[in-house]
Structure 1
Amino acid sequence: MNEDSLLFASIAEIGALYRSGQLSPVELTQRCLARIAALNPTLNAFITVTAEQALIEAGQAERELRAGHDRGPLHGIPVALKDLIDTAGIRTTCASRILKNHVPAQDAPLVTHLRAAGAVSLGKTNLAEFAMGIAHPDYGQVNNPWDAGRTAGASSGGSAAAVAAGMCFAAVGTDTGGSIRIPASYCGVAGLKPTSGLVSAEGVFPLSWSLDHVGPLARSSTDAALLLGGLTGQTFQTPVDLKGRRFGIIQRGAADFEPEVAVVFEAVCQILEEAGAEVEDVQIPELELADAALLNVLLPEAATIHARWMGERPEDYAPMTRTQLELGFALPSVTYLRAQQFRRRLTAHFLAALGKVDALISPSVPFVAPAEDPMFTGEEGGQEGHFSVPHNLTGLPALSVKAGLGSGGLPIGLQIITRPHSDAFCLGLGAALEASLPT
């Protein structure tokens, strides 16, 4: 394989090369580190690159594989971690001034799982400050590999950009209102917000404890399933046939998204039908209330988490991050409680819909990557999360896959939503669709 083919190969292909002796984890890790060195000044995807430790881990993986000690599909695979996930002895900044020198004493459980699976960690990826949607000026925005004049998305943009640019083979992100799926859509990769609680959030700095999800980003749904397995210690098999499946289209209508997104979405629906699936419109009651409900949960919880620092050092936050936290202090408790009640009703509405179809689909984002990350409390931020927000409220698995390219050549994502704890099935549908789409 040439350099580009190798760095954009699937995890299974890399594993086969390792086990046949045609490639070593050390060699591949060196190539990934070289690519990071070349591209990170432009993309700003990594905050901390742990080159020395990565080569040590790769060397250990190489020795183990040669000795016949095979830890599974992630053994020796270079990955990256969003920089709000605790890593022992490696600073975890949350892309903030407040935690710029914070070095955790122990790994988050998900990191322990990845180490046990033999994955090689290349470092910590950039994000919006405390995952709140806005880049702190000390760290800057993550730029899109498809067009460096545009954002890769917040807040898991560093993870998505690193995967899309061939810096690593998979990366971990977090998602509170779309922060895995939106960057996945903008960068043309697969990103899963798993069923709530499937991946432990212990040792992951919270944005909103009742909405946060941790999940995988990779260049395909199949690779995302392998990383999800590494994060949980479980196995997620993905073979699924589209024939005979029933898909429900939610939030359909030209007014909901830009024309180029509509064109790609309609093309995907046609591909599903040509593959033997049924596609029909589905109405979700009260769905129009979801955007406001998410903010009414997220903002008070975020304000609670940041209350001490907001009192002691508010000037260290980016101005727009501070403004969003201030909104959380102003919301009445009854508004928060009503939003939590609404979550139960909305979940029931989605479960009723999923009792009639195998999966629900929508665009991932109403538009292609913009130039800058919008405030999620502003009008553009609300539009950006229009399709992703409901599924943080319900906790259902939701996957974004690359559906095609817009008229300007930028990626557009399709979102797939399935029943609780059907993450493998959700990823399987994504893999089947990816195989059916034009390359």
Structure 2
Amino acid sequence: MKLSYYNITSELNTNELVLANLLSGAIITISKDSYTLIQKNTEDKIPIPLLEKLIEGRFLISDDFDELNYIQTRLSYHKFRTDILSLTILPTLDCNFDCSYCYENNARTYMSNKTINQLINFVAVNLAGKKRFSVAWYGGEPLLASDTIWKLSQVFIAMSEKLGIDYDACIITNGSLLTAENIDKLIEYKVDSIQVTIDGPHDIHNTMRPFSCKYSMDTKSYDVILDNISSACEKININVRINIGKDNYRQLKRLLNSTKFNNLKNKINIYVSPIIPFGAGKKVNETTFPTKCFDFPSFAGIETELYEIIQQAGFSTNFDFDGSNCNCCRAICLNNYLVDPDGNLLKCWDSIGEDSGIVGHISKCPKEIPMYQNKELLKWISFNPLDNIKCRKCKFLPICMGGCPHRIIKDNVNDDYRCSVIKYNYKQMLKKLYVQSLTAETNNEYGT
């Protein structure tokens, strides 16, 4: 037996460690003495029950098991599987917000009837042999083109039912148009989750994510969104994303304790994400982003504190160390595309507005063009984090899987915007996750 390369530890107290295996997702506590025995290859001195747990959690593996080969195999499975069709569809690039950091240009471009029909034909051709069809509605603000969403959803669901294919959908929206009528429609058309962004208490949010003056004389969006979420979360899963930059990171506690937001406790899920200074048409440019954005090592320094604030306020948030699927970004998967309002096919959300990011058009499937002739598509499909010597040697490969492909293929960024944040704060976050799990077990034991 040998130690897995993907074990990480965090000190729990003077005698114990929290031990996690990133390739299995298993987490246990172990005495420092026992862990020392394992490191010295003297596991025969370890009690049998503990040894069995270490083997079951893949902290200890057989001498001939090649973990890198396993990761490569799992990666290839996700990249080239043919039983799923995954589309991110932008019915419009138009948006009724004017967010301070958005990389899109709010072009008033909407999907035409011709493009809608071409997209229906594209899906009909590409659904052959699939078991699952997954759609994400995106924009712009997608609900500005709600009629297109309803029309396409109705056709997609009918197609899937006829072929016996599982269909699921989600939507990424600014939340301003989540009216009762639209919520009922989304549910009718099998949208099962909604992502909405709130970037701080009302004064901060209204500065960072105001209504565009093209759409409203009153630019304040905070109350509109919170009122809509409050109604919608009674019917559908709501994930609230909080984009964190240097202008708003100290305001998280004030947001969570504000009356309207606090009323959403136990009704929504929250996660935080750093504002990234990349993408076509970005408003945060090279000269200003050091004052606006955190690089990942810097963000890691405050992330633990942010999650502590979220938990103390009583909100739920998802966080784990499970890299067992070795799941990659969908942008590098063969049967995943983003469809813009003109019917162009792209591989990544951050490529919106980049002509160089177009890999084809729905009027002609990219796979009909020999891969060696479609150089742009080949860049994405051939991306392999294991080609990078740093990634091959990194313990966090199962979680990170090389980082964001767009930032590597298009932006050519350094590790400070590429590597997973967890690489920089795993000791604090691992200990926090373990303590949180104990709290949850205690609450369940006593029925709280």
TM-score of the alignment, normalized to the shorter chain, above 0.5: no
What is the TM-score normalised by the length of structure 1?
0.24
Higher-Rg structure is: 2
What is the TM-score normalised by the length of structure 2?
0.24
